[in-house]
Structure 1
Amino acid sequence: MVRFTQSCARRTSTMINQNANQILPTPVRLGADERFTGKGITIALADSGYYPIADLTQPTNRIRAWVDATESPARVLRFARDEAPTWPGYDDNAARHWHGLMTSTVAAGNGFLSGGEYRGVASDADIVLIRVMGEGGGIPNENIVRALKWIRASAEDYNIRVVSLSVSGDPYKKLLGNPIDEAVKALVQQHIVVAVAAGNDGVRRLTPPATAPDALTIGGIDDHNSFDPDEVELWHSNYGVSERKLPKPELVAPSIHIAAPLLPNSETAARAQDAFSKNDTAYIRSQKLITPHYQQVEGTSFAAPIVAATVACMLQANPALTPFDVRRILIATATRVPDADDARQGAGALNAFAAVAAALAQKDRPDLITEKSPLIRNERVYFIYRDPRAKRVQLRGEWDNWQGTLDAQQIEYGVWVIEMPKPSSGFYAYRFLIDGTTWIDDPDNPTRRTNPYGEFDSVLVVS
């Protein structure tokens, strides 16, 4: 799921050779809020393999654990803050280490090898690294499932709030209820946000975990290494539907012109050092090198950890957010890609700054999980309906003479909320519409009156 690419942008680091491939650091191009860097949040990644790069271990180690999910049961090595983490085979220069090295640093690297220049959006987050690729090079579905189940069992121990999956399983003959998507669902039910790479072929085809209805499936954009929103266009990422026929992806994020470290002690790293020392412009450009330590990378494998890192910042800003809150905010704040197919872009391009701002703003929102409906607070009215079987919940009422329909957002499994401005003083009848077919009164509200159809309407009392 990884390709390498070239770009020509402004100078961003004193370490960059004047003939190198120069790009904007990811937080800069996203306009990320520098006050929030994922501190206190742990991101778990499942990938082919990893390396304990300085961007994750210096000046303080942030790798909480390395997990080998190719074994049953999974093998776990935990690490302390002052420890130099290592694990079996980390330094054997195997190609599988590079992909996970890149995805983990795109999410949470602090740019140590670039003086902080090429950091990830969540540069203070802790991480857990889970290997799912076997020695033979494949990633069986059972390894992905084992990784996801381990995360669920261990999330509390490590404060795992976000999962980034830049892996693809094999297609299941029966998509509905497949083990990978069910394991993702179990994580979301445990208040863990899951971001998944859509794939890079530009076709209408998704495979688990990108098909998981409860995951945030992330497609790609090419912003041409520019701040200009008019330069943004869709990248050739996959799209399709989930097992429940819900459209995917949910949103898109940068998939090209992204900085990631070279694998230390590899032949590529050695040749990069040599090329910069000799000012070998032709080699630097051909290999898309940015500095002696960083190279440009490409793929939705990096769009997913960028979104996961943004989610970590949202949770740092407002730890009370649920996965449903995160989904709603990301979709509501996304920026539409002009003249792009809706099926391929979902809600649009990630707006990291707006997403964190919205997360902060929601701190003033009451705890709607436990409140009774209707709730009037701070000039807003909240209607709350609880039904785990409902697929869609809507509301109509007398405040606009029953003309408009308000759609509810699911903020927790089976908990639906509709928010609107408080109307002027008075009495307003209202009803819920469930799945487009069934009208009911508000079960939480004892204030009711009969309607012309011989049924009950609930009544909102505004004083």
Structure 2
Amino acid sequence: MHRPRKVVSVSIRTQRVPAARLWLAGALAALAALGGATPAHAAQRPGRSVEAIVRLAPGATADQGAARVRALHGRVTGDLHIIHGLAARVPARELARLRRAPEIAGVDADAPVKPQGKATAAASWGTSNTLLATAYPSSVNAIQNWTDPLTGLARYTGAGVGVAVIDTGIAGTMPDFKNPNGVSRVVASVVTNPSATTANDTYGHGTHVAGILAGNGNGRDVRDKAYGKYLGVAPDANLISIKAGDEQGNATVLDVIYGLQFVVDHKADYNIRVVNLSLESTVAQSYLVDPLDAAVESAWLNGVVVVAAAGNRGSAADAVSYAPGNDPFVISVGAVDDKGTQGNSDDAFASWSSRGLTQDGFAKPDVSAPGAHIVSTLAPNSTFTTLCPSCIVDTNYIRAGGTSMAAPVVAGVAALALQAHPDWT
């Protein structure tokens, strides 16, 4: 059953708009909502209504597009100005006519997106006996940039840089996401999936990703056995949690597009300089026509660095054919296994990490980063706690692998670079 989109906040009720539910963390945020692509079975069930992503032709207005949708017995369900389009509920039998309309540039039926990481068993190598138990911050030279070697003072830690994580939410009350004053660095929490019942991360994928990017184990009590052991690449960065997945981690293209629209619309409010997408579409098509690719390009054109997981399809023929990682304007990230060491002499490209040429002839991924057996934050009482109990480390952390884990390493590096060079884009 189709569920209507609306926006509310935890503490106050805001203006209703056709989008998602919105929760606030620390300051008032505003709008967001649901997801899209093109399942083949839509045309085979003519009596069925389809949630569609409608892109307008150059020069066409939203009112003209809406009028065309209504003329074909459909209804508009949301504004997608980020891609000069709209979301609509349309009878499946009318999709072909809608695509041929002069006001319309393209129509895609909504389709799932999938996270690109999962809990994994321990590797054969162990962690070091230093306080910091994870190797990846050092292997990408993050640690070397955190402190000025001459003064010992903090240097580049991502402080002040906003990074949006479009995923399953973030458990922002964990000590790892708080600043020294005890205030959460998750400065806004937005829900774009109408099936989600809370802004909290009940699945666990998004919290794990966020910990790799900006977790700070130094926020824990010094008596905690995990104190200082698990730090992300940019441990002082601010996080903007955009929950596109529901309680089971399910999301669609529209959920993600609404998340990207929030990023663009509220970039200045939270100094959003980077967005991390540890997910990919399930529909393979050219970046020239894919609506999710159009949305990430809009974010890029608005000065946001877009980092995306390359996928976990190995060397399959279509391995890098899925949005958003197939887009030449995003940083597509593959995964290496760093063997738990800080040096790179023993690193190996993960066999399951997607690589190859896109359908448009672009070699992907653009860069690779540690993504195997990564220990990071575990959202309390989340699905991740039951998927692999043996993967849980020091009670509040879990080991997982995938290009989902490699992407936030690169997003964290981008946050460090943008703190050092605020004028970069």
TM-score (norm 2): 0.61
Pair 1:202-2:307 in alignment: no
Cα 1:241–1:139 shift into 2, 3 Å = farther
Q: Which amino acid aligns with 2:339?
A: H
Match of 1:50 in 2: 170
Moved over 6 A (4+): none
**Distance in 2, Cα, partners of 1:238 & 1:115:** 35
Pairwise CA distance, 1:26: 2.9
Pair 1:90-2:200 in alignment: yes
Cα 1:51–1:119 shift into 2, 3 Å = same
Preserved contact between residue 141 and residue 169 of structure 1 (Cα < 8 Å): yes
Match of 1:179 in 2: 291
SS in 1 for 2:187: strand
**Distance in 2, Cα, partners of 1:10 & 1:99:** 22
Pair 1:62-2:179 in alignment: no
Q: Given the alignment, which residue of 19, 28, 31 partners 2:138?
A: 28
**What do residues 397-428 of structure 1 show as CA deviations (whole Å, max 9, x unaligned)?**
xxxxxxxxxxxxxxxxxxxxxxxxxxxxxxxx
Pair 1:211-2:326 in alignment: yes
Preserved contact between residue 63 and residue 127 of structure 1 (Cα < 8 Å): yes
**What do residues 200-250 of structure 1 show as CA deviations (whole Å, max 9, x unaligned)?**
231341211111110000001011112343211101201233464211110
**What do residues 244-278 of structure 1 show as CA deviations (whole Å, max 9, x unaligned)?**
42111101000113221222245976x9xxxxxxx
Preserved contact between residue 222 and residue 234 of structure 1 (Cα < 8 Å): yes
Match of 2:278 in 1: 166
Cα 1:266–1:163 shift into 2, 3 Å = closer
Cα 1:175–1:190 shift into 2, 3 Å = closer
Match of 1:349 in 2: none
Preserved contact between residue 144 and residue 169 of structure 1 (Cα < 8 Å): no
Match of 1:5 in 2: 121
Cα 1:88–1:176 shift into 2, 3 Å = same
Preserved contact between residue 224 and residue 231 of structure 1 (Cα < 8 Å): yes
Pair 1:318-2:421 in alignment: yes
Alignment of structure 1 residues 21-420 onto 2, 5 Å: 23-32=133-142, 33-34=145-146, 35-52=155-172, 53-58=174-179, 59-71=182-194, 88=198, 90=200, 94=202, 96=203, 98-111=204-217, 112-113=219-220, 114-134=226-246, 137-172=249-284, 175-204=287-316, 205-206=319-320, 207-235=322-350, 236-242=352-358, 244-265=360-381, 287-322=390-425
Cα 1:123–1:23 shift into 2, 3 Å = closer
Preserved contact between residue 213 and residue 246 of structure 1 (Cα < 8 Å): yes
**Distance in 2, Cα, partners of 1:70 & 1:268:** 20
Cα 1:308–1:137 shift into 2, 3 Å = closer
Preserved contact between residue 46 and residue 130 of structure 1 (Cα < 8 Å): yes
Preserved contact between residue 181 and residue 213 of structure 1 (Cα < 8 Å): no
Alignment of structure 1 residues 425-440 onto 2, 5 Å: none
Pairwise CA distance, 1:54: 2.0
Pairwise CA distance, 1:288: 3.5
**Distance in 2, Cα, partners of 1:117 & 1:135:** 29
**Distance in 2, Cα, partners of 1:219 & 1:186:** 23
Q: Which amino acid aligns with 1:106?
A: I
Q: Which amino acid aligns with 1:295?
A: I
**What do residues 120-144 of structure 1 show as CA deviations (whole Å, max 9, x unaligned)?**
0110000101011235653211111
Cα 1:266–1:179 shift into 2, 3 Å = closer
**Distance in 2, Cα, partners of 1:266 & 1:250:** 32
Instruction: From the CA coordinates, give the structure whose radius of gyration is larger.
Output: 1
Cα 1:225–1:174 shift into 2, 3 Å = closer
How many residue pairs get aligned? The number is 285
Cα 1:36–1:268 shift into 2, 3 Å = same
Q: Which amino acid aligns with 1:307?
A: V
**Distance in 1, Cα, partners of 2:347 & 2:128:** 21
**Distance in 1, Cα, partners of 2:248 & 2:207:** 19
SS in 2 for 1:102: helix
Aligned residues: CA RMSD: 2.8
Unpaired runs of 5+ residues, structure 2, are 1-115, 147-154, 221-225
Q: Which amino acid aligns with 2:332?
A: T
Match of 1:410 in 2: none
Preserved contact between residue 212 and residue 243 of structure 1 (Cα < 8 Å): no
**Distance in 2, Cα, partners of 1:119 & 1:61:** 16
Preserved contact between residue 285 and residue 359 of structure 2 (Cα < 8 Å): no
Preserved contact between residue 196 and residue 215 of structure 1 (Cα < 8 Å): yes
**Distance in 2, Cα, partners of 1:57 & 1:183:** 31
